[in-house]
Structure 1
Amino acid sequence: MAALPPLPRAEETEIGGTGWTGEVDVAGTDRRSPYSLLVPAATIVVFTLGAWGFALVDSGSWLDHGYRSLQLFVIEAGDGFPDPIPWQLEVTRWVAPAITLLSTALAVAVLSRGRLDAWRARRMRGHVIVAGLGRRETEAALVLRRGGHDVVVISRHPPAGGVRRCRRAGIAVVEGDPRDPLALEAGGLGRASDLIVLDPELETSGRVALAAVGLAAARSEWPLVVHVEMADPALVGLLKALKISEHHAAGWRVEELDLAGAGASIMVDAVAPWADGSALAEVLVAGESTLAAAVVSELRRRWRLSGGAPDALSVVRTGSGSALSVGAVPSSVYVCADDEPEALTTALAVLRDFPGVPVAVHLEHTASFGTLLMQDAHDLHVVSLDTQVLTPAVLLDTTVERIARALHGAYRRQAEATSPSALPWAELAESLRASNRAQAEHVCDKLRVMRRVLLPDDGQPTDRFTEDEIQELGRLEHDRWVAERRAAGWTPGPRDTHARTTPYLVPWEELTEEVREIDRQFVRALPDVLADSGLVIRRSGASSVQPSADRPVRSGS
């Protein structure tokens, strides 16, 4: 995405990059506490007073007076004190030892806090590890903690401001290089549920992920999910398809952290791309950034969901600047340029050339100035994404979870409104969510039977199943669902969720046509559900509809 010039910080050379989210200063992040200067300042003042006091009672050199003043910090009076004692020495002989004791106590507290955090991290379970402690990593850790997650941060040279903010929030900070397996072990990786790496440099994030999956390979309780930031939309799409189709490791999996995609969704939410019910639409996207490419994909996805004809949407991609070559008047404009002054110039040029057309412009460092311009330009909408994309929902999302939510949404559209399985995803019982996830994970088994493959969305309509294929895939889905229910302890009988009985634990041939149609509707909706997650179905060869007798089976809501 837009690569904004980074502000200096030590963490940049280790884990954590600036990326398009920018380096907006967060209150308290890098401000040094005045207490960190208090002890050195007091030490200098007291040392000077001690040397002055000895100079008043002794004829030695200033070096001698300074040496005797230093001795007072370790409660050593040398040759003793004269009588009467000058007030300078009276102050020094009491304050100097107090400074020594205070400094020792502070040093012990710092060392003990680090050891305490490491001890806490090793005993956590199901927590989230954040690699690095730059500004974005700090914000991610804090927002996860506010969301109720236990969080551990691993950083080689954690900045004092970030450490203070994290520890105040109850986040354990472990000092170490996240690329080092020993540091990951110290952060409790063996019991962690997720690892988040916010670094657009794939070499760096890859080394962290490689160290993590090496430790997690033998896990059996639950897989470690490694969320790696990726700025290339093509790579994001390919990884989605690959891990759904080919991933076989039980102890871990890697998930693409698509901040550009999340930002694109927010951009399109800020300005309606076309009027409701439009049969034709032309949208202008200005800029060459990764965010601009993601906005184009998001517009196509939403047009498809609205039921519009594929050739009825025209998305015009152009560079940014004051001179834009655009034909027809667009229904909306999205400006996503790397250079923020240029982005503002582009947005104002669009407002000049196309009065009344809504314009969304992405700004981070100049968002305040853009907001000022909005007071007079009512069609201008400034969108700042820094804090909006770093949310638990984005940071911890997975492809299987997205497909499961989409499958549940498709089910709700044809289910009875009073059914407990038709509740919104956020209100759905965890057992039913797990069922939807199992259904999502089984998608590729179905596609392999039909000789289909999943590919990143290429803008072309996804393949559809024939009626014969729908019939066979419906059978497979019913078989999967039966196996899942039996494994969960369900038995044949009247429909009763509390007693875990259902009349549908029977072979496909014994189902009524109405019940069979539920599974067929799932199969018909599957191409659109996958397309909503950025994946399309393509034929890889002749379809084979021979069922597999031992194939596992469905998780319907």
Structure 2
Amino acid sequence: MSARGGGALGAIASARSIAIAAGVVITLGFIGAVLEAKARVGPGGADLLGWVKIALDSVVRSLKFFSLDVAPEPEKTNWFVALARVGGALVATVALLKVIAAAFGRQYALIRAKFCRGHVVALGLGARNSLFVGDLARTRKGALVALDVKPPTAKAIGAGRRGVGLDVDLDLPIRAAVANLAYADIVLIGAGSDERNLALAAAVVTAPGRGARQVVVTIDDPALAERCENEPAVGRPPSGDEVFVFNTARSAARSLFERRPIVDIALRRGQRRVRLVIVGAGDAAIECALHFLRISPCAGLGRPLVQIVAPDRAAMAARLADRAPSLLQGSEPGRDAPLSWAIELQIVDQGRSASAPDRSALDALDAAAEDPVTAVIVAGDDSVKNVIASLTLKERVRDRPGWRAPIFVQSALSSSLDRLLAPHGAPAEADGAQIEPFGRLEQICRLDAVIGRREAAAREIHAGYLEHRRQSGRPPDRSTEPWDRLDETFRRANRRAADHLTVKRCAAARLAGRPIDPAAPLRADSETVPALAAMEHDSWRIDRELDGWRRGERDDGGKTHPDLVAFEQATAASQKYCLDQVTLLARFDAGAA
């Protein structure tokens, strides 16, 4: 293991700055030496060889200015020589300090890290972890300690003098003392593959510490991310740390529907239901379908229609079967699947086109639905191809009735292609055929997006549930554990309720005859609360059934619940809880606003 310092010594001056300063010193010294030589030669001047000798002597004298020679110069000298002498001394001093910093930077960085308290530790500086670190450098005080296989600098981690960079072989077991993990508040893990990140997370949560650290680990596979959350060793480690699994596709889907829940478009247009078209076979396409389904219940709108257009229909069906079996079963005619009441799902072949659906695929989509398209999501595996597909699709549906809908294109990184999207996203086209990017890493790789308002709302909802159970007098069970010991399935249910808040805002506004604004705080009164409570129950039921729960006697271990029925058929206690939760959410939303 090796380390290099990234603090104040390492940031004294860059090599480029020293080289520029040295060039200025040499130039000044040369000019000054030539002027002095010319004065000595006198009016007669010198021949060609004489001037060559003067030039060479002037270069040699200029180089001597870097020698830190303290011998006094003759009193009669020009300003060029005086400035060169001072500048040369400064450049030599800085260069010497750079050499010292390079020699002792390892020890200096380790000493700085040793005395850090309440700091942030970044294990790996990949694209996403670097964005997390940059966000924290702007929004949080305190030191940041970055470990990577390359020698990170304070400038690289965007923390100035607060940054400590350590060059560490992350394949080796992490020594807690290196980054002083025991006293860290936040640990960000993003060093490469999912297996590597999980190994680092296991090393962190088992390292000695004072507990209560917030650990964010990046996992690229959405299914693996969900399985890891369900593992008690990750979700509820014995160390007392809080582990949050960050997945790009899931976060992209959540950020999209938090900003544009899609139901707001349908409500403003007076549609009878949402018709959502998803183009592409990337992870984000599946996560968008799942997340939308969880938050889709909305007063005034019927069962949504989700049409997925994929290059290979059979392959997409197989992926959906692995990711959410009950979702796919709900789309198969003649089968009494758990989610058949909640969604109408269709999977259509993209056709021969390599980018967007061809004419035959568009005809198949329109033949299967009379409803106009509410929105289109383009989410393939490649951001560049997604942008091209969205532009191609807009051109192909230009003359099709019912296709004047916004197109949301997954684009992880800003690029020159954004200029192609700009003419298609004018505010005047609100809810029209504009093209809007979503899932930008700089927007979703923020700690507040992972551990922020959504998490606070979920905990507030769980606190309200605990109070409801206490008043009901029912015996405690696995769902009544405190948050830090709560099973992930119940944590996910509370987060789902927080995600559904945006839809409740839109529905409450429509029911009350107010303008629909997904960002306006929830206003619930005696006339709107019953409808909002029914929406909450349906959203909860969808989330439970997606998570594998079935109707039956209450058995948290076996994932059965008697209230997995329509709201009107649920028990009085369950209905009361939904009513109370809507009121609780309205209070939370008003306070947060």
Query: TM-score normalized by structure 2?
Result: 0.56
Cα shift at 1:90: 4.6
Cα shift at 1:48: 3.5
Distance 1:347 1:33 in 2: 50
Cα shift at 1:264: 0.2
- Where do 1:128-527 residues align within 5 Å? 128-133=120-125, 136-148=128-140, 150=142, 151-157=144-150, 162-163=155-156, 165-167=158-160, 170-180=162-172, 185-198=177-190, 201-202=193-194, 205-206=196-197, 210-211=199-200, 213-214=202-203, 217-219=206-208, 221-222=210-211, 226-243=215-232, 250=239, 255-274=244-263, 275=266, 281-303=274-296, 310-316=340-346, 319=350, 320-321=355-356, 323=358, 324-325=361-362, 326-327=365-366, 328=369, 329-337=372-380, 338=382, 339=385, 340-350=387-397, 352-353=399-400, 354-363=402-411, 364-365=414-415, 366-375=417-426, 377-378=429-430, 379=432, 380-384=434-438, 385-396=440-451, 404=459, 407-408=462-463, 410=465, 435-440=482-487, 462-464=548-550, 466-467=552-553, 469=555
Match of 1:39 in 2: 21
SS in 1 for 2:276: strand
Distance 2:460 2:99 in 1: 50
Asked if structure 2 preserves the Cα contact closer than 8 Å seen for 1:167 and 1:173, the reply is: no
SS in 2 for 1:388: helix
Q: Deviations over 1:327-352 (max 9, x none)?
A: 32433221223212223322443455
Asked if structure 1 preserves the Cα contact closer than 8 Å seen for 2:205 and 2:239, the reply is: no
Cα shift at 1:101: 3.0
- Where do 1:11-22 residues align within 5 Å? none
Cα shift at 1:97: 2.1
Match of 2:30 in 1: 48
Asked if structure 2 preserves the Cα contact closer than 8 Å seen for 1:264 and 1:295, the reply is: yes
Distance 2:137 2:70 in 1: 51
Cα shift at 1:129: 1.3
Cα shift at 1:145: 4.1
SS in 2 for 1:382: strand
Asked if structure 1 preserves the Cα contact closer than 8 Å seen for 2:125 and 2:191, the reply is: no
Q: Which amino acid aligns with 1:345?
A: T
* CA RMSD, 1 decimal: 5.1
Distance 2:468 2:262 in 1: 25
SS in 2 for 1:154: strand
Higher deviation after alignment, 387-396 or 48-57: 48-57
SS in 1 for 2:231: helix
Sort the Cα spacing of 1:139 and 1:441 in 2 relative to 1 into closer, same or farther, 3 A: closer
SS in 2 for 1:165: coil
Match of 1:498 in 2: none
Sort the Cα spacing of 1:137 and 1:66 in 2 relative to 1 into closer, same or farther, 3 A: same
SS in 2 for 1:284: strand
Cα shift at 1:109: 7.7
SS in 2 for 1:163: coil
SS in 2 for 1:221: coil
- Where do 1:96-115 residues align within 5 Å? 96-104=88-96
Distance 2:85 2:448 in 1: 58
Distance 2:130 2:447 in 1: 13
Higher deviation after alignment, 280-289 or 314-323: 314-323
Sort the Cα spacing of 1:304 and 1:137 in 2 relative to 1 into closer, same or farther, 3 A: same
Q: Which amino acid aligns with 1:268?
A: F
SS in 1 for 2:64: helix
Asked if structure 2 preserves the Cα contact closer than 8 Å seen for 1:362 and 1:383, the reply is: yes
SS in 2 for 1:92: helix
Sort the Cα spacing of 1:383 and 1:95 in 2 relative to 1 into closer, same or farther, 3 A: closer
Distance 1:164 1:466 in 2: 53
SS in 2 for 1:39: helix
Which of 107, 116, 140 is 1:124 aligned to? Answer: 116
Q: Which amino acid aligns with 1:359?
A: I
- Where do 1:509-548 residues align within 5 Å? none
Cα shift at 1:286: 0.8
Distance 2:231 2:172 in 1: 27
Q: Which amino acid aligns with 1:128?
A: V
Asked if structure 1 preserves the Cα contact closer than 8 Å seen for 2:133 and 2:157, the reply is: no
SS in 1 for 2:159: helix
Cα shift at 1:154: 2.7
Cα shift at 1:435: 3.2
Sort the Cα spacing of 1:145 and 1:114 in 2 relative to 1 into closer, same or farther, 3 A: farther
Asked if structure 1 preserves the Cα contact closer than 8 Å seen for 2:126 and 2:191, the reply is: no
Asked if structure 2 preserves the Cα contact closer than 8 Å seen for 1:335 and 1:347, the reply is: no
SS in 2 for 1:240: helix
Cα shift at 1:248: 6.2
SS in 2 for 1:185: helix
Asked if structure 2 preserves the Cα contact closer than 8 Å seen for 1:300 and 1:459, the reply is: no
Distance 2:64 2:574 in 1: 86
Sort the Cα spacing of 1:278 and 1:372 in 2 relative to 1 into closer, same or farther, 3 A: closer
Asked if structure 2 preserves the Cα contact closer than 8 Å seen for 1:129 and 1:187, the reply is: yes
Distance 1:164 1:245 in 2: 27
Cα shift at 1:288: 2.1
Asked if structure 2 preserves the Cα contact closer than 8 Å seen for 1:53 and 1:89, the reply is: no
SS in 2 for 1:125: coil
Query: TM-score normalized by structure 1?
Result: 0.59
Sort the Cα spacing of 1:133 and 1:393 in 2 relative to 1 into closer, same or farther, 3 A: same
Cα shift at 1:468: 6.4
- How many corresponding residue pairs? 419
Distance 2:154 2:457 in 1: 35
Asked if structure 1 preserves the Cα contact closer than 8 Å seen for 2:218 and 2:247, the reply is: yes
Match of 2:528 in 1: none
Q: Which amino acid aligns with 1:314?
A: E
Sort the Cα spacing of 1:314 and 1:218 in 2 relative to 1 into closer, same or farther, 3 A: same
Cα shift at 1:45: 1.8
Distance 2:219 2:122 in 1: 16
Asked if structure 1 preserves the Cα contact closer than 8 Å seen for 2:29 and 2:80, the reply is: no
Distance 2:485 2:69 in 1: 73
Cα shift at 1:389: 0.8
Distance 1:124 1:465 in 2: 52
Cα shift at 1:298: 0.8
Distance 1:351 1:270 in 2: 26
Q: Which amino acid aligns with 1:237?
A: E
